[in-house]
Homo-oligomer: A and B are copies of this chain.
């Protein structure tokens, strides 16, 4: 309870000073917004918080304060801010796009890698399927399943049309030779 009359002097106790600052800062903000609304005028306040030397706080808002201040030094800050925001979102879009493209390429790359491995295997027999290659078998079988689904789909929809790459149909053979896995089959989305 405010028993003590405020003595208009610097508050030495840090805790008290901080508390007082917070309360009075809020009060100030309220007063400013009130006079602004009641009297239909422009007004603003700028306060440098203690312990945060370079981060002033403003009322009624930063843009509002900037608007008021720029009135008398003739600079429109809102333009700047807006411009910067646009630039930033543009850059973020570019990043997202690149990342997506990257993802696609990685997948495509993986697919081709597996196909190459298949080709190598079919050309030289199982002696090349050593411990270094065994790690590819899962993907091998997965892509084979995918290709099989694709082929069957094409055969059903366009029975006379055969565009499936040769290597992919070889992949089917390879799987038929006993390298199937329990990978779940996923339909290819065209």
Q: A54-B76, A73-B73 are in contact. Are A24 and B6 (CB under 8 A)?
A: no
For A119, the closest partner residue in chain B by CB is: B119
Q: Is the interface of A mostly helix, strand, loop or mixed?
A: helix
Q: A25-B35, A95-B94 are in contact. Are A45 and B45 (CB under 8 A)?
A: yes
Chain B residues with CB under 8 Å of A31's CB are 24, 27-28, 31
Q: Which size class do A's interface residues fall under?
A: 35 or more
- A9-B38, A105-B105 known; 19 new pairs, CB 8 Å cut-off, are A8-B38, A11-B39, A17-B40, A21-B35, A24-B39, A39-B50, A41-B48, A42-B47, A45-B46, A46-B72, A58-B72, A88-B88, A102-B102, A109-B112, A112-B116, A116-B119, A116-B167, A119-B167, A123-B166
Using a CB–CB cutoff of 8 Å, the interface residues on chain A facing chain B are 6, 8-11, 17, 20-21, 24-25, 27-28, 31-32, 34-35, 37-50, 54-56, 58, 65, 68-69, 71-73, 75-77, 79, 84, 87-88, 91-92, 94-95, 98-99, 101-102, 105-106, 108-109, 112-113, 115-116, 119-120, 123-124, 128, 165-167
